[in-house]
Amino acid sequence: MSFPQSKISELVQQLADKLIAKKLIISTAESCTGGWIAQSLTDLAGSSAWFDTGFITYSNEAKQRLLEVPAAFFDFDGPGAVSEETVLAMTKGAISNSRANVAVAVSGVAGPEGGSDEKPVGTVWIACQWEEKTFVQRFMFAGNRRAVRLAALETALVCSLNLVT
């Protein structure tokens, strides 16, 4: 699978234009994408005007410590790292621990291992938040680890763009 850099760059430019026009600042909270969203945003020169920080919270402990995701989410009977509750808490934590007023969060099972019957490889939750506007959805992406992560990156950018449009 080739990397559609031009498509990613186009989405980033569109998002940057919307954020600038509305005087908004975005932060990212990433797990399975490992900072790929933040990297894509900061590939655009001048991004410091509308991008604040990226939280790469791959471990559950990091999600708790850096984004204030409740520890109970990771208990046996909790929703787990790959869940609606967790990505929503991640967006809230990204906003409250930065100067951003918009956040996007991603947590998923990129594979090739780690999936379960309930959350198979390719399961990714994405949340975006801006003030009282919130988007959250579960996605099922196909392919190898890179393909799942790339699909999550692209979808997170589209969701963020749709939220601030």
Please tell me whether the overall predicted TM-score, pTM, comes out greater than 0.85 for this model: yes
Q: Domain 5-164 is in which class?
A: alpha beta
The residues spanned by each domain of the chain are: 5-164
Q: Exposed (0-12), middle (13-18) or buried (19+): which is 24, by Cβ within 10 Å?
A: middle
Q: How many residues does the chain have?
A: 165
| Token couple for 3 | 């990397």
**Nearest CA among 59, 133, 127 for reference residue 88:** 127
Task: Strand 26-30: give its sheet, edge to edge.
Answer: 51-56, 26-30, 102-108, 123-130, 133-140
pLDDT tens for the chain, 165 residues long, are 445 679 999 999 999 999 999 999 999 999 999 999 999 999 999 999 999 999 999 999 999 999 999 999 999 999 999 999 999 999 999 999 999 999 999 999 999 999 999 999 999 999 999 999 999 999 999 999 999 999 999 999 999 999 999
